[in-house]
């Protein structure tokens, strides 16, 4: 009995290995599901014992994969875990095809008893599917066994053939009998001479697949078919069989048909043991489908790896969002306070306006990253494209090498699209970066243009997904190497890339395509090798009106009321106090949620509004809100967060919180929210 144990904890693996080895079992070990599948691709086993919670691929996923695989599904599968104790988990495990579900901690005797029960069933019932599958071989092993048996039959027939030559003409009898045996095979078989290497015979499979008649084949040698071998390398390959060091060899190569087409093959080559037939016998398997399957599996593995990296990116972006938004909150808040105190037409005022603008762009970018990681739609607003394009080109100009010239032609004709400016910025930066990569070696011209087009119902040259109407057309072209025609229809596929390892993930153009599709637009590409590439992007115009930006200005009249402001970041509490005082409110700030609760209990009706952060030690924002509302149910509370896995606007509203704000919070947003919750 050979048992495969799968557990990500090394100490658990060690204990199981020792226990099973002591009981006389041969043990294989893996630390997660993928490693277990890799082990099964090279070795067979009679039983699998697996934990559930593991990285990369957990036990449930492994069991599901095993039970769906034709060659593996009958291997008995035991779950041995301390992670799941719910009855539903056991029912789910058994529904996947598991044979047993054992909870840790359990006595070793219990596990050994279950193993013995399973092995007894396998041995007592020869028709038992588990017993039959315990010796399941890989496809190549099955073929190898089949070919070994076929070769044995050939040898047996050759011995019989030698006996028959006493009554018949030796040569004719050998040829006819050999032909009959070869024709009985479904594989491609041929026999060639030991010294001259000339083909002696080939079955119908060989003749049909190669396209040669028997006469044509007799004038050839394997070197005429196997394009990867030279006379010296083929002689070296045959040497172990000629000298008797090896009885049989196996190798893969490429065969060339008579019409010139190529196909991959696997060859099982053996020397005939018949003294009357000094020849090699070759069984040849066309492995085209296997190669396709291996390539598909390799691509699937690559995509899985990329998806895991994207998932990790989403987790990382969510993890840093809270801290990063706190930093942005301080930058934006203090910039707003400074702008109120400075004369509007001065250079310092203009410089701070640029700081505020850049901070807002960073705020939008963080929101976009979080949106991408959660795979939800971003809000689109009326936008003038030429402003977004100009801003992106100003940023891009500083990053491009001097060998690349930017030429721009941006129409400023009024026209609004419904778009997410951050995503449009991402599209432009991605396409321009790809253009730079295409011109990196020799330099060139990057041209960006923006104009207006009207698409009618009968324009065949336009993308079919576009409805008739007015569109903004954004064009990005380069004078680089161009895209080969055979891959132009694949460039928008996820993970497809022609860049070397480390230069790209293959996600850029697929994300671009997805963004444009979400904007109800379209993208086309034209490319000529050696001349360059041009992308045209179409965005539908809208009649919606752009809202005017809110100017930063001091309050027109002083407000009245006292606000309790709670945040564990001291710079943010200081900023919140100054912003509230600037708006005319009395501000009481605390950096400890328990201290804030104590202050509120001392005088609950002194505070008109409470503003609290969500992620804090001791009491989180929602927990603090519950305590405050239990004391004063009608209290207006504003909950703020840079990012939270657990709290959403809907949950906040359901528990009685009046408003939910995402950090960083601008002064005018804070003022409007306070007025709204106060009614």
pLDDT (tens digit per residue) in 1-22:
899 999 988 878 888 888 888 8
65 and 187 belong to one structural domain:
no
Task: Give the number of other CB atoms < 10 A from CB of residue 227.
Answer: 11
Distance CA 303, CA 233 (A): 38
Summarised one tens digit per residue, pLDDT across range 664-673 is 888 888 999 9
479 contacts: CB under 8 Å, gap ≥ 6 = 439, 444, 445, 531, 532
Q: Is 444 left (phi over 0), alpha (psi -120 to 50) or beta?
A: left
Assess whether 437 and 507 both reside in one domain. Answer: yes
Cα separation, 658 vs 339, whole angstroms: 30
In this prediction, residues 184-211 reach a mean pLDDT of 74
Q: What is the pLDDT of residue 369?
A: 62
Residue 153 pLDDT grade (very low, low, confident, very high; cuts 50, 70, 90): low
Task: Write down the pLDDT at residue 595.
Answer: 94
552 is a domain residue: no
Report the pLDDT averaged over residues 322-350. 79
Instruction: Please determine, for residue 315, whether its predicted confidence score (pLDDT) is greater than 50.
Output: yes
Residue 569 located in a structural domain: yes
DSSP string, 519-567: TT-EEEEEEETTTEEEEEEEEEEE-PPPPPPPPP---SS----EEEEE-
Compute CA 632 distance to the chain's CA centroid, rounded to the nearest angstrom.
49
Angle at 68 between CA 67 and CA 74, to 5 degrees: 40
Give the rounded percent of residues in the chain with a pLDDT score beyond 70: 77
- Work out the pLDDT band at 618, boundaries 50, 70, 90: confident
Q: How far is CA 101 from the centre of its chain?
A: 32
Residues 438 and 578 both lie in one domain = no
592-625 burial: b if 16+ Cβ within 10 Å, else e = ebeebbebbeeeeeebbbbbbbbbbeebbbbebb
Mean pLDDT for the chain overall: 79
Query: How does residue 125 score in pLDDT terms, banded at 50, 70 and 90?
Result: low
Q: Is residue 105 part of a domain?
A: yes
The count of domains in the chain is 4
* Domain contains 293: no
d(CA 191, CA 201): 5
Do 407 and 462 belong together in one domain?
yes
601 confidence band (pLDDT: 50, 70, 90): very high
Residues 526, 403: one domain? yes
pLDDT of residue 345: 77
pLDDT (0 to 100) of residue 365: 67
Within a domain: 413: yes
**Domain assignment of residue 455, yes or no:** yes
Among the residue ranges 120-129, 143-152, 192-201, the one predicted with the least confidence is: 143-152
Return phi, psi of residue 430, to 5°.
-65, -50
Cα gap 223→214, rounded to integer Å: 17
Is pTM beyond 0.95? Reply is no
Whether 129 and 214 map to the same domain: the answer is no
d(CA 157, CA 182) in angstroms, rounded, equals 11
The more confident residue out of 91 and 547 is 91
Q: Which residues of 517-553 are buried (b: 16+ CB within 10 A; e: fewer)?
A: eebbbbbeeebeeeebbbbbbbbbbbeeeeeeeeebe
Lowest mean pLDDT among 63-67, 165-169, 320-324, 643-647: 165-169
Mean pLDDT of the region 46-57:
87
Whether pLDDT at 405 is above 80: yes
| Residues 6+ positions from 107 with CB-CB distance below 8 Å | none
- Bridge partners (DSSP) listed for residue 252: 266
Of residues 501 and 486, the one with the higher pLDDT is 486
Lowest mean pLDDT among 37-46, 210-219, 542-551: 542-551
195-204, 434-443, 491-500: lowest mean pLDDT where? 491-500
Task: Answer whether residue 410 shows pLDDT above 80.
Answer: yes
Q: What confidence tier does 599 reach under pLDDT thresholds 50, 70, 90? A: very high
Instruction: Check if the beta carbon of residue 518 is closer than 8 Å to that of residue 511.
Output: no
The pLDDT value recorded for residue 28 is: 93
pLDDT of residue 154: 53
> Given this model, what pLDDT does residue 146 score?
41
Residues 6+ apart with CB under 8 A from 42: none
Name the domain boundary from 229, 258, 286. Answer: 286
Residue 191 or 601, more confident = 601
CA distances to 17, 59, 73, 130, 392 from 49, in Å: 11, 9, 14, 15, 56
The confidence score (pLDDT) of residue 377 equals 47
Cis amide linkage into residue 664, ω under 30° from 0: yes
Phi, psi of 135 (to 5 degrees): -105, 20
Q: What is the pLDDT of residue 600?
A: 95
Residue 555: predicted pLDDT: 47
Closest CA to 521 of 463, 567, 476, 572: 463
- Distance CA(481)–CA(533), nearest Å, equals 8
What is the pLDDT confidence band of residue 284, given thresholds at 50, 70 and 90? confident
Q: What is the CATH number of the domain that holds 202?
A: 3.30.450.20
Asked if 97 and 198 sit in the same domain, the reply is: no
508 & 590 share domain: no
Assess whether 401 and 436 both reside in one domain.
Answer: yes
CATH of residue 653 = 3.40.50.2300
pLDDT at position 615: 87
Query: What range does the domain containing 193 cover?
Result: 141-286
E-only strand ranges, 194-302: 199-202, 248-256, 262-271, 279-286
Q: Is residue 58 part of a domain?
A: yes
Domain boundary among 136, 158, 192: 136
Q: For the chain, how far is it from start to end, CA to CA, in angstroms?
A: 76
CB pairs under 8 A, 24+ apart, for 27-30?
A: 27/2, 27/3, 28/2, 28/3, 28/4, 29/4, 29/5, 30/4, 30/5, 30/6
Taking only the tens place, the pLDDT of each residue in 207-227 is 888 888 888 888 888 888 888
- Domain-terminating residue out of 225, 260, 286: 286
Both 594 and 499 in a single domain?
no
Residue 254, both tokens: 């490429």
Q: Of the segments 180-194, 270-284, 586-600, which one has the largest average pLDDT value?
A: 586-600
Which residues have CB under 8 Å from 53's CB, separation 6+? 8, 59, 81, 83, 84
Q: Is the pLDDT reported for residue 394 higher than 90?
A: no
| Predicted pLDDT of residue 314 | 62
- The reply to whether 125 and 188 lie within a common domain is no
Structure token pair of residue 155: 């040898």
Concatenated DSSP letters of 369-426: HHHHHHT-PPP-EEE-HHHHHHHHHHHHHTTS-TTEEEEEEE--S--EEEE-HHHHHH
Note whether 667 and 622 are same-domain residues.
Answer: yes
Over residues 263-278, the pLDDT tens digits come to 888 888 888 766 666 7
**Residue 373 within any structural domain of the chain:** no
């Amino acid at each position: 009995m050979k048992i495969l144990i799968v557990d990500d904890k090394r100490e658990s693996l060690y204990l199981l290995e020792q226990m099973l080895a002591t009981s006389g079992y041969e043990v294989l070990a893996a630390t997660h599901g993928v490693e277990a599948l890799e082990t099964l691709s090279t070795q067979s086993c009679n039983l699998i014992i697996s934990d559930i919670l593991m990285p990369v691929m957990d036990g449930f996923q492994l069991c599901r994969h095993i039970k769906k695989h034709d060659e593996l599904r009958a291997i008995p599968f035991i779950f041995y875990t301390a992670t799941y104790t719910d009855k539903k988990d056991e029912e789910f495990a058994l529904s996947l095809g598991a044979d047993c579900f054992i909870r840790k901690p359990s006595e070793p005797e219990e596990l050994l008893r279950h193993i013995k029960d399973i092995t007894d069933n396998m041995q007592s019932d020869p028709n038992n599917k588990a017993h039959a599958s315990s010796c399941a071989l890989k496809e190549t092993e099955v073929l190898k066994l089949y070919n070994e048996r076929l070769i044995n039959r050939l040898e047996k027939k050759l011995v019989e053939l030698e006996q028959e030559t006493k009554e018949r003409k030796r040569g004719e009898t050998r040829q006819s009998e050999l032909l009959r045996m070869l024709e009985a095979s479904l594989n491609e078989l041929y026999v060639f001479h030991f010294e001259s290497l000339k083909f002696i015979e080939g079955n119908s499979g060989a003749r049909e697949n190669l396209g040669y008649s028997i006469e044509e084949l007799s004038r050839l040698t394997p070197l005429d078919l196997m394009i990867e071998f030279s006379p010296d390398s083929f002689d070296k390959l045959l040497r172990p069989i000629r000298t008797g060091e090896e009885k049989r060899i196996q190798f893969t190569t490429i065969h060339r048909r008579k019409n010139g087409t190529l196909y991959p093959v696997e060859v099982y080559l053996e020397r005939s043991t018949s003294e009357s037939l000094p020849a090699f016998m070759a069984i040849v398997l066309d492995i085209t489908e296997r190669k396709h399957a291996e390539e598909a599996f390799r691509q699937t593995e690559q995509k899985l790896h990329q998806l895991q990296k994207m998932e990790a990116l989403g987790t990382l972006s969510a993890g840093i969002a809270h801290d990063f938004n706190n930093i942005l909150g301080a930058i934006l808040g203090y910039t707003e306070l400074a702008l109120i105190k400075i004369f509007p037409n001065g250079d310092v005022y203009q410089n701070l306006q640029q700081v505020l603008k850049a901070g807002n762009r960073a705020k939008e970018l963080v929101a976009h990253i979080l949106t991408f990681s959660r795979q939800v739609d971003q809000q689109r607003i009326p936008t003038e494209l030429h402003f977004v394009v100009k801003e992106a080109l100003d940023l891009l100009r500083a990053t491009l090498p001097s060998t690349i010239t930017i030429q721009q032609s941006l129409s400023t004709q009024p026209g609004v699209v419904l778009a997410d400016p951050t995503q449009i910025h991402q599209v432009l930066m991605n396409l321009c970066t790809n253009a730079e990569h295409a011109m990196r070696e020799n330099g060139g011209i990057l041209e960006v243009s923006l104009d207006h087009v009207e698409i009618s119902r009968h324009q065949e040259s336009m993308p079919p997904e576009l409805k008739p109407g007015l569109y903004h057309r954004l064009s990005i072209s380069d004078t680089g190497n161009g895209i080969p025609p055979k891959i132009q229809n694949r460039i928008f596929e996820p993970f497809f890339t022609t860049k070397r390892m480390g230069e790209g993930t293959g996600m850029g153009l697929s994300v671009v395509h997805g963004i444009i599709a979400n904007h109800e637009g379209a993208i086309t590409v034209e490319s000529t090798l050696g001349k360059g590439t041009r992308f045209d992007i179409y965005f539908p115009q809208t009649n919606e009106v752009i809202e005017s930006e809110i100017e930063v200005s001091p309050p027109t009249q002083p407000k009245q009321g006292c606000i309790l402001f709670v945040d564990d970041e001291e710079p943010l509490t200081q900023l919140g106090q100054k912003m509230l005082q600037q708006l005319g409110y009395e501000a009481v700030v605390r950096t400890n949620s328990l201290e804030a609760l104590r202050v509120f209990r001392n005088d609950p009706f002194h505070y008109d509004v409470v503003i609290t952060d969500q992620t804090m030690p001791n009491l989180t924002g929602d927990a603090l809100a519950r305590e405050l509302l239990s004391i004063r149910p009608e209290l207006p509370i504003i909950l703020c967060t840079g990012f939270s896995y657990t709290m959403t606007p809907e949950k906040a509203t359901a528990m009685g919180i009046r408003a939910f704000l995402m950090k960083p919070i601008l002064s005018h947003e804070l003022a409007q929210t306070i007025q709204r919750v106060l009614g």
